[in-house]
Amino acid sequence: MKKQLIAETIGTFALIFCGCGAMTINEITGGSISHVGVASVWGLIVMAMIYAFGETSGAHFNPAVSIAFAYAKKFEWNKVPSYILAQSVGAILAIALLAFLFPESQFLGETTPMEGFPAYKAAILEFILTFFLMVVIINVSTGSKETGIMAGIAIGGVILLEAMFAGPITKASMNPIRSIAPALFTGNYQYLWLYISAPILGALAAVISCKLIKEDQCCKESNC
């Protein structure tokens, strides 16, 4: 369990440091990385960390994923708090380092809806994005582990895809701790309710859809 938690901490740190780091550098350099570049960084770092830590911890790096795997009965509920704590530590350390390196940044990769875009619509979009993400995760993972040759490509690919088209509207968070960590440093908590609730509900809905489509096969160790 100790090795799993260390892997989740390091993996989440890398995910947030690189993803939010790309957004931060793009902000302070006036768009030198570009929207496409930022989306690519998110997809590539997720893919890399899945290959690095999938066998050890399952490469969740996301409280919504851990909760959904537990709901699917592929992960012990009593491990969920420890995983979320490890993910939180990794994410907060990453943003703390970004804040130190780039004090001129106002946003540190925070997630807020596009100006003028209603929060309830952003919540719907984040729900759908996480639903699609978890549908892919649960269908390419073995048990609660994101492992295998295609897992990293498929999961990293869908994150890149969703960040590409939805990033300008909601920042395509799909991960509660990815939204919470920057807010702790910027003090902007206004939209956290949607970035916490929508991904969790979207991930749970994906598990339900898997059960409806695959029936009893969805949650067998070799298929779910």
Alpha helices (H) along 102-191: 119-140, 149-170, 176-186
The residue extents of the domains of the chain are: 2-102+112-217
State phi, psi for 216 to the nearest 5 degrees: -75, -15
pTM to 2 decimal places = 0.93
DSSP secondary structure string for all residues of 40-62: HHHHHHHHHHHHHHHHHH----S
- Mean pLDDT within 9-28: 98
CA–CA gap between residue 6 and residue 153 (Å, rounded) = 23
CA–CA gap between residue 135 and residue 205 (Å, rounded) = 9
Per CATH, the number for 2-102+112-217 is: 1.20.1080.10
CA–CA gap between residue 178 and residue 49 (Å, rounded) = 15
Question: Higher pLDDT residue, 219 or 144?
Answer: 144
Q: Report whether pLDDT(217) > 60.
A: no
For the stretch 125-140, pLDDT in tens is 999 999 999 999 998 8
Provide the token pair at 57. Answer: 């911890």
Q: Is 58 exposed, middle or buried (0-12, 13-18, 19+ CB in 10 A)?
A: buried
* Mean pLDDT for all residues in the chain: 93
